Amino acid sequence: MSLTAADVDRIIKLLDASRFDRLSLEMDGLRLDLVRNGGAAVARPAPAPAVAVPPAEPAQPTPAPAREAGLVEVKSPLLGIYYRAPRPGEEPFVEVGARVEPDTIVGIIEVMKLMNTARAGVSGEIVEILARNGELVEHGETLLLVRPDR
């Protein structure tokens, strides 16, 4: 289960109608902080859980600064070479305009011939692919931008 923009809208309305000034919600690795006076909704990943996580699990979505409001940055879970397709000459995993779900594979990150899959980690539509095929991406680098479902 993930939080869509529509869900956030509904939660904002709930807060607006209430007598509270602040709301914090944590669920499924997401944390939502809402503040009434001049505060915009900020969704950010909850602190990393203390358990060991396999390195190539879904990338962590965070909001993109100063682009179209509400876009989610899908980040590389590790440093390596980014590939858009399973093999050279094959169709890319995803294109701009494609719909993704949290477990949709958006690319491969190669570390010394070891292939790791990168997943979207969010539901929505791909707006832009920033990482270039066959080039190095660092740990935490933004691979693509997703407009989350509303």
Residue number with CB closer to another protein (53 or 69): 53
Residue number with CB closer to another protein (15 or 78): 78
Is residue 51 part of the contact set for another protein (CB under 8 A)? no
Which residue among 25, 30, 78, 130 contacts another protein (CB under 8 A)? 78
Is residue 27 part of the contact set for another protein (CB under 8 A)? no
Q: What SS3 class is residue 89?
A: coil
Which residue among 81, 85, 105, 127 contacts another protein (CB under 8 A)? 81
Q: In this structure, are strands 135-137 and 62-63 parallel, antiparallel, or unpaired? A: unpaired
In this structure, what token pair is assigned to residue 93? 């995993």
Is residue 38 part of the contact set for another protein (CB under 8 A)? no
Is residue 135 part of the contact set for another protein (CB under 8 A)? yes
Helices (H), the chain: 5-17
Residue span binding another protein (CB under 8 A) among the ranges 39-47, 86-94, 108-116, 118-126: 108-116
Report the alpha-carbon distance of residue 24 to residue 29 in Å, rounded: 13
In this structure, what token pair is assigned to residue 2? 């993930």
Which residue among 79, 96, 99, 150 contacts another protein (CB under 8 A)? 79
DSSP track, 34-84: EESSSPPPEEEEPPPPSS---TTSPPPPEEPTTSSTT-EEEE-SSSEEEES
Is residue 44 part of the contact set for another protein (CB under 8 A)? no
Instruction: Look at residues 141, 54, 149 and name the one whose alpha carbon lies nearest to residue 106.
Output: 141
Residues that bind another protein (CB under 8 A): 55, 78-81, 110-112, 114, 135-136, 138-141
